Amino acid sequence: MAAPRGTFSIVAADLEAGEVGCAVQSKYFSVGSVVPWAQAGVGAVATQAAGVAVYGRRVLEELARGAAPDAALERVLAEDAGRETRQLGVVTADGRAAAFTGGSCLDWAGHRTGAGFAVQGNILAGAAVVDEMVRAYEETTGPLVERLVGALEAGQRAGGDRRGQQSAALVVERRGGRSESREGIDRICDLRVEDHPEPIAELRRLVGIWSGWDAQRRAHAAHERGEHAAAADALVVVLARGEDAEVLYNLACYEALAGRRDDAVLHVRRALELSPSLRELAADDRDLDPIRDALADL
C-alpha cells in the first residue's frame, strides 16, 4: 500500500478582479504537480487525498461545458471505483463552489464551502485547520494571491497536515491576463516549493518577489500605453520594499516622461550610484531626455 498523503488546500474566485486560483500544502513531494488547477473565466480545482491529477482538467472541462460545480464533480467521479479515497474542491469563475470528501479519506478529513471558495483537507490535525483557513480567507483583504497564501498560513498555525510539511504551490489565472503581457497566457502567478522544511514560509517569500515582478510588469504595460504616471505609481510600490538599481532607473524614466522632474533626477542619480554600469544606458536613453540638462555632470 502506498503511503498516504495529507493535504490542505483552498480554491477561490475573485469576481471583481476576474481571477481564479488554488493554494495547497502537503507532506508530499511536488504537490503542485498534482493538486492545483485553474483556468481563467472557468474556475479552479484541487484534486487530492488519493489524488488523480487529470481530474483537475476534467472538472474544468465540465465547467467550461456549463456544468454546475457539484455536477462536474459527480460526473468526473461517477466511474471511479476508488472515489471514496478522493477529495476535490472546485469553484467557478462566478463564485459557485462545491467539494467532495470520500468516506475513506484518512482522519481528519473534511471540507468547507462558501461564497467564492472551497477549503478541503485530509490527514489534518483537526477541523480547526479548515475552519481557520476559512476565517483567514474571509478576513484578509487585498489581491487573491495574498488571500490564498494567508489561508495556508492560518491552516498551518492550526496544525496543518499532522504528518508535517514538505511542499506548497500557488496558481492564479486572470481573465484577460494574456493581453496584459507578452506571454500570451492568462496565468499570472505559478509558484511552487517542491521540498522544504517550511514550504509555506518559503512560498510567502516567493510571493513577495512575485509581487515586485508583477508590479514591474504592470508598470511596463502602462508605459507601453503611454500612461507614464500610472507606470511610475506602480513602481513606487516596489521601491517601498527596498532599493533596487534597475527599479530606480525605470522609475526615473517613467517619472521623467510623466513630468515629475525632481523625483526623476533624484531616482536616476541614486540608480547610477548603486549600479554605475547603468551610466552607458542612461547616456542614450531617450526616456530621460526631459531631464537631460540635469544629468550633464553624470
Same domain, 30 and 111: yes
| Within-domain flag for 181 | yes
Same domain, 199 and 255: no
Confidence of residue 168 (pLDDT cuts 50, 70, 90): very high
Same domain, 48 and 170: yes
Location of C-alpha cell 488519493: 50
| Within-domain flag for 129 | yes
Same domain, 118 and 178: yes
CA–CA separation, 279 vs 297, rounded Å?
11
Same domain, 206 and 278: no
Among 13-27, 98-112, 182-196, name the one with the lowest average pLDDT.
182-196
Confidence of residue 1 (pLDDT cuts 50, 70, 90): very low
DSSP string, 195-236: S-SSHHHHHHHHHHHHHHHHHHHHHHHHHHTT-HHHHHHHHH
| Within-domain flag for 259 | yes
For residue 187, the model assigns a pLDDT of 95
For residue 5, the model assigns a pLDDT of 66
Give which of 77, 8, 81, 11 is closest to 48, Cα–Cα: 8
Please give the residue that has the higher pLDDT: either 180 or 69: 69
Which of 214, 244, 270 finishes a domain? 214
Same domain, 194 and 267: no
Same domain, 170 and 237: no
Which of 167, 185, 214 finishes a domain? 214
What is the rounded average pLDDT for all residues in the chain? 94
Percentage above 90 pLDDT, the chain: 84
DSSP classification of residue 106: P
3-state secondary structure of 66: coil
Tell whether the model's pLDDT for residue 217 goes beyond 80: yes
Tell whether the model's pLDDT for residue 148 goes beyond 50: yes
Give which of 87, 59, 93, 238 is closest to 172, Cα–Cα: 93
Tell whether the model's pLDDT for residue 115 goes beyond 60: yes
| Within-domain flag for 237 | yes
Predicted confidence (pLDDT) per residue in 223-274, tens digit: 989 999 999 999 988 888 888 999 999 999 999 999 999 999 999 999 999 9
Which of 214, 245, 275 finishes a domain? 214
Contact 134, 113 (CB under 8 A): no
Same domain, 207 and 231: no
| Within-domain flag for 198 | yes
For residue 4, the model assigns a pLDDT of 52
CA–CA separation, 254 vs 223, rounded Å?
7
Same domain, 170 and 78: yes
Same domain, 250 and 172: no
Among 2-6, 30-34, 147-151, name the one with the lowest average pLDDT.
2-6
- The number of domains in the chain is 2
| Within-domain flag for 220 | no
Same domain, 86 and 206: yes
| Within-domain flag for 2 | no
Same domain, 194 and 258: no
CATH number for 79:
3.60.20.10
| Within-domain flag for 1 | no
Residue 114 is part of which domain span? 7-214
Please give the residue that has the higher pLDDT: either 191 or 236: 191
For residue 33, CA distances in Å to 46, 77, 128, 140 come to 11, 20, 26, 27
